[in-house]
């Protein structure tokens, strides 16, 4: 059976019979190209938060599925997504990453564009009459959901907002519309397929092993639970406990003391928005990772957060006390001084890159998924729906989820 047929079969299974994907799905270049066409050029993809591009001229430029894109804040305060390719001879206009440019000037022959993509000037045209209106930058769709910015390279795409409406009842108590303070880091290159990074980001099964000293003491695997989900989004969660050890303990303890905020702090919620967003919501902060595919075996990971609190250095920037040294997580010892998020992301990078190293094995075989991996099964259903043009799946609602509904 060929790889595509195998993936089609496996991604249509329910939890009872679900297996991990064939390894080729994480290493085969042709399969990767199919994903770029059917997913990253055709669906809503998370890019950054509004706080990262809040001022006139602030931009974020990146390449998505071979398409250079720039998201830029206009003078009118509108955020727009545009092609980052010069309309002269095709040079990328803005450098990749974050920057500020009220006018975009091509580094090659200085054709210049406004912040809404109109061609403004062409130096030294000689006798040639260049019709400026015929040389504007193409636009892409852009939508913001609670300050999180998504783009879609397919201009015929259905709006994003409706897709996420079902989550509202669980998220209402957090008042996400007050999460107006946002920040984010730089792209980090991981030698891993984008799906390994995102599967790792959404499941809580690995906390007790990979994050033994960082997340597990406060977010223990054995108290993780499923809330609701399907192919379009999934919410899972877990109890926040105080075991008396671990870096999050004192901040969480302090935070849960006032009775009125207790119900925000006594559990966490993991928000999975396929294809590429995995968020961790506790109390007043939603920390996340965004995954951008590079090649079949390489991804770019960017961490960020939005919060109702001004005090966010990193995801739990105010949790810097304590020092741990973990034997896990890599070559270099973890250093909490560089930030709690950095510490557990180093652990995730380590395990994802290690996982990737087996993805060309011809003898190893994928195995069964466990109950805590229902969210991974949802992600597979997402793949099934996009790669094979199937419709969205109906949501599964865990029996106790009502408790979290306001
Ligand atoms: S390629 Fe941009 S100005 Fe020539
Ligand atoms: Fe992790």
What's the count of helices (H) and strands (E) in the chain, helices before strands?
9, 19
| pLDDT tens for each residue of 289-308 | 999 999 999 999 999 989 88
Q: Distance between CA 306 and CA 23 in Å, rounded?
A: 35
Mark whether 390 and 340 lie in a shared domain.
yes
Measured between its terminal Cα atoms, the distance across the chain in Å is: 48
> Best substitution site from 85, 87, 108, 137 to test ligand 1's pocket, by max atoms within 8 Å of Cβ?
108
In a domain, 187, yes or no: yes
Count the residues in the chain. 406
Mark whether 36 and 75 lie in a shared domain.
no
**Residue 254's closest CA among 304, 309, 325, 335?**
309
Mark whether 363 and 388 lie in a shared domain.
yes
CA of 112 to the centre of ligand 1 (A): 9
In a domain, 59, yes or no: yes
Q: Distance between CA 43 and CA 392 in Å, rounded?
A: 13
Range of the domain at 311: 3-41+165-404
| pLDDT tens for each residue of 140-186 | 999 999 999 999 999 999 999 999 999 999 999 999 999 998 988 89
Question: Of 112, 145, 178, at which residue does a domain stop?
Answer: 145
**Greatest mean pLDDT range, 65-69, 305-309, 325-329:** 65-69
CB crowding 323-345: b at 16 or more within 10 Å, else e: ebebeebeeeebebeebbbbbbb
| pLDDT tens for each residue of 88-98 | 999 999 999 99
Q: Are residues 341 and 316 in contact, defined by beta-carbon separation less than 8 angstroms? A: yes
Q: Distance between CA 293 and CA 40 in Å, rounded?
A: 9
Mark whether 236 and 306 lie in a shared domain.
yes
Give the per-residue pLDDT at 320: 30
Mark whether 34 and 59 lie in a shared domain.
no
Give the per-residue pLDDT at 332: 31
Q: Distance between CA 283 and CA 319 in Å, rounded?
A: 13
Three-state secondary structure call for residue 329: coil
Give the per-residue pLDDT at 95: 97
Does residue 130 have its Cβ closer than 6 Å to ligand 1?
A: no
In a domain, 150, yes or no: no
Three-state secondary structure call for residue 165: helix
| pLDDT tens for each residue of 343-356 | 889 999 999 999 99
CA of 82 to the centre of ligand 1 (A): 16
The single-letter DSSP state of residue 36 is I
CATH label of the domain that carries residue 133: 2.102.10.10
Give the per-residue pLDDT at 218: 85
**Residue 287's closest CA among 239, 344, 337?**
344
Does residue 137 have its Cβ closer than 6 Å to ligand 1?
A: no
Cβ atoms within 10 Å of 307's Cβ, excluding its own: 22
Mark whether 11 and 110 lie in a shared domain.
no
In a domain, 153, yes or no: no
Mark whether 179 and 111 lie in a shared domain.
no
Does residue 91 have its Cβ closer than 6 Å to ligand 1?
A: yes
CATH label of the domain that carries residue 21: 3.90.380.10
In a domain, 266, yes or no: yes
Give the per-residue pLDDT at 217: 86
Question: Is 80 exceeded by the pLDDT of residue 318?
Answer: no
Mark whether 19 and 56 lie in a shared domain.
no
Mark whether 324 and 376 lie in a shared domain.
yes
Mark whether 250 and 321 lie in a shared domain.
yes
Give the per-residue pLDDT at 403: 86
Q: Distance between CA 157 and CA 36 in Å, rounded?
A: 16
Mark whether 55 and 19 lie in a shared domain.
no
Give the per-residue pLDDT at 102: 95
In a domain, 316, yes or no: yes
Q: Are strands 104-105 and 112-113 parallel, antiparallel or unpaired?
A: antiparallel
Q: Distance between CA 233 and CA 271 in Å, rounded?
A: 7
Does residue 48 have its Cβ closer than 6 Å to ligand 1?
A: no
Sign, CA torsion 14/20/24/28: positive
Mark whether 127 and 186 lie in a shared domain.
no
In a domain, 180, yes or no: yes
Packed helices 374-387 and 194-202: angle between N→C axes, nearest 10 degrees: 140
Q: Distance between CA 54 and CA 158 in Å, rounded?
A: 26
Question: Of 116, 145, 174, at which residue does a domain stop?
Answer: 145
The number of folded domains in the chain is 2
Q: Distance between CA 324 and CA 247 in Å, rounded?
A: 8
| Residue-averaged pLDDT of the chain | 89
Give the per-residue pLDDT at 300: 98
Question: Is 70 exceeded by the pLDDT of residue 317?
Answer: no
In a domain, 151, yes or no: no
Give the per-residue pLDDT at 126: 97
> Best substitution site from 85, 87, 88, 122 to test ligand 1's pocket, by max atoms within 8 Å of Cβ?
88
């Amino acid at each position: 059976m060929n790889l595509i047929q195998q993936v089609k079969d496996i991604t249509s299974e329910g939890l009872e019979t679900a297996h991990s994907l064939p390894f080729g799905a994480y290493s085969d270049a042709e399969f990767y190209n199919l994903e770029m066409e059917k997913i990253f050029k055709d669906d809503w993809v998370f890019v950054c938060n509004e706080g990262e591009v809040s001022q006139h001229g602030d931009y974020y430029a990146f390449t998505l599925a071979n398409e250079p894109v720039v998201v830029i804040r206009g003078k009118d305060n509108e955020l727009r997504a545009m092609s980052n390719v010069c309309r002269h001879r095709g040079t990328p206009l803005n450098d990749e990453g974050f920057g500020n440019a009220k006018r975009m000037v091509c580094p090659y022959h200085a054709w210049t564009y406004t912040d809404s993509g109109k061609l403004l000037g062409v130096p030294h045209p000689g006798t040639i009459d260049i019709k400026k209106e015929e040389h504007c930058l193409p636009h892409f769709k852009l939508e913001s959901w609670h300050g999180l910015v998504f783009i879609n390279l397919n201009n015929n795409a259905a709006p994003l907002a409706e897709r996420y409406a079902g989550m509202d009842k669980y998220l209402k108590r957090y008042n996400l519309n007050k999460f107006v303070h946002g920040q984010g880091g730089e792209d980090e290159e991981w030698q891993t397929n984008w799906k390994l990074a995102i599967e790792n980001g959404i499941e809580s099964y690995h906390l007790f092993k990979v994050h033994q000293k960082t997340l597990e003491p406060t977010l223990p695997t054995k108290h993780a639970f499923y809330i609701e989900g399907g192919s379009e989004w999934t919410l899972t969660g877990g109890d926040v406990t105080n075991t008396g050890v671990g870096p999050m303990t004192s901040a969480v303890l302090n935070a849960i003391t006032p009775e009125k905020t207790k119900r925000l702090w006594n559990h966490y919620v993991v928000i999975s928005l396929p294809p590429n967003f995995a968020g961790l919501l506790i109390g007043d902060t939603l920390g996340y990772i965004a995954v951008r595919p590079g090649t079949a075996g390489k991804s770019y990971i960017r961490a960020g957060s939005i919060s109702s609190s001004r005090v966010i250095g990193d995801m739990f920037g105010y949790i810097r006390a304590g020092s741990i040294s973990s034997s896990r997580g890599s070559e270099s010892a973890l250093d909490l001084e560089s930030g709690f998020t950095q510490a557990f992301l180093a652990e995730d990078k380590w395990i994802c890159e290690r996982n990737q190293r087996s993805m060309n094995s011809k003898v190893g075989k994928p195995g069964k998924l466990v109950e805590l991996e229902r969210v991974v099964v949802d992600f597979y259903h997402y793949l099934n729906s996009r790669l094979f043009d199937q419709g969205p799946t109906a949501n599964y609602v865990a029996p106790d989820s009502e408790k979290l509904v306001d």
